[in-house]
Structures are given as structure tokens and as C-alpha cells.
Structure 1
């Protein structure tokens, strides 16, 4: 985390105390974007514990590469805990990477282009694309308004009742954290941990 990001967010009237409590945060680019995208799909709509269990099984039983995912029998992926739908989704991602999507091409794109490229893959939505931008490409100014943890964090830091803020209001509040909205998001998640 840059000194500018830390100072800006530390002096924010809503995030300042959380920033002080948790100190500087880091965004580290992933060395294997394919693997991380598969993990994001596994994590969709699951508790942290359930997702970790399924993720561990997949990594134990399958080579998590485009070729490895496509070569794995569906029954093996299902036995790991993936639903039939998620088996299709991880295979769609594998096919996209075999068809030319790559870490290099994604890193060269701006945020909007990454979201467009990823959401063309069936099973990858805007939330997953934004998580990819933050946790795989380490982009500093992404605000995942679609995330429930972000909503709960904003409710806590703005001291409002559950569901009192619209997505538009959340995005508007987050504008004050530009160009460090990814870091602000990390702090919002810490607020509800």
C-alpha cells in the first residue's frame, strides 16, 4: 500500500478508525490468474468454510490448469463438491484460456475491458470480474458494490440500518476514496470481520 493511499484513507472521517486499527493493507498480483479465477467460481455463493473445503479437494485431485480441468472427469469435479453448474463454469473458463485469454492479455487491459472479457465467459459475472481485478491483477481503484460484505461494511462505517443505502449511494460515497477504492474495500471487509 502506498503512503498516499494509507494517508488518504487514514484521514477519511468514515474509514479512519478502521485504517488505524488494521494498518496498511496490500494488494499482491497473482502469478496464476487462471487458478484464481477457478477459485473465485468455487467461492461464489458459498460460506468461507465450504468454499475452502471444495477448493482443497479440487487442488488435491485435479491439475488446476486449463488442460487439467478439461481432462478431469465430471464425476471427479462433482465429488470435489462442485455443482453441475459450477463444473460447467470452470470448464468454460478453461476453454476461454485455451482459446487465447491469458494473464498477459488481461494485464494489458483496462478495468472495463477486463470486466467485459471475463463476463463474456458463462459463469463469470461482474462480482467475480471485480474480485479478479482486486485480488488477481491488484488494481487499486475497484469498488465491488455488488458484494454483501461491502454493503455490510458501508452500513457499519456510515452507521446506518441494514439495506438503508442503495447501490447508487454506496458508489457515490465510495467516490471520495478514489483512486484507492480497492484498499477502501479491504477496510470495509475488515469492518465486518
Structure 2
């Protein structure tokens, strides 16, 4: 399958399959978050920091289950991943990119603001986002901060607004190039 065609089939990505003893449990990322299903790749602190930052970038992404979506995609075979990184030519495994970015983010937040990203109040979290956008991140030890901003925002937008319901929330007509056979 052509890589760009895979991205267009977001339907596959928005249903997470959780293995059960008697089969699989198919859930949307939002349902997985609501049920507090365990993550496969990210640890608790990484997930909390990622959720705080993505929610600040894309309001509604936490409730949409962006962290569960990203975690699920990080656990999948590289060829099946629908994360933005796949389309930007970032070398596999993408978990290394996410982990090093989250570690650099936490280190920067603690050094500059005295707390992890998930512990920052909204105005300070907004300043942390500005730091990412402008690469105002002294002693940064990870992927470029502005690139992380772009990737995390893109993945958050995909989950939050990449569906008919998401577009309706924006009061924007859903105009897919290829309309899905069924709603997700």
C-alpha cells in the first residue's frame, strides 16, 4: 500500500484493538481513554506530559483519546503506523523519537518552570508551548522542539478533527476525497 494512501484510511487507525482472552475489544481512542485501558508503550509520566501538551495544542484532543491513539500506533508495526512521523521520513522506531522528545520536554519544563508539563498551570503551559514553537529551549537534548510541536499538533489534529464528528464540531463540511464506507 502506498504510504499516503494509508494515511487517508484513518478509519483503520481510529479503532483500537485490545486483545482479550476470547478475542479483541474494538474501541475508539476516546473509548479507550474513558475506560482507562493501559498503554502499551508510554509510561504514566510520558502519557500525562504528552496529553497536557497535545491538549494545549489541540483543545479536545485529550477527550478524543490522542494519547491512546499515539500509544497504539507506536506499538504497531512501522508499516502500519499512521503517525505523522511515518510521512516525514523519521527513522524507525518512532517510539525513540517520542521518548527522547518527551524526556527533553520534561527536562526543559522542570529546568525553566520547576515542574513537569503535566503539572503546569495553563498560562505556564502556554509559555512552554511558545518555547517549543520558537525553539527557545536552552540546553535542549532531543529532536528539535519546533519539529516536535509540528508532529504532536498534527497527530492531535488527526485524532480530534479527522472524522465527520470532528469536522462537525468545527462547523465545517466534511469533504473527504474518498468518503468512508461507514462512519467511525
Tell me the TM-score normalized by structure 2.
Answer: 0.31
User: Which structure shows the higher helix fraction?
Assistant: 1
User: Which structure shows the higher strand fraction?
Assistant: 2
Q: Which gives a bigger RCO, structure 1 or 2 (Cα 8 Å, sep 6+)?
A: 1
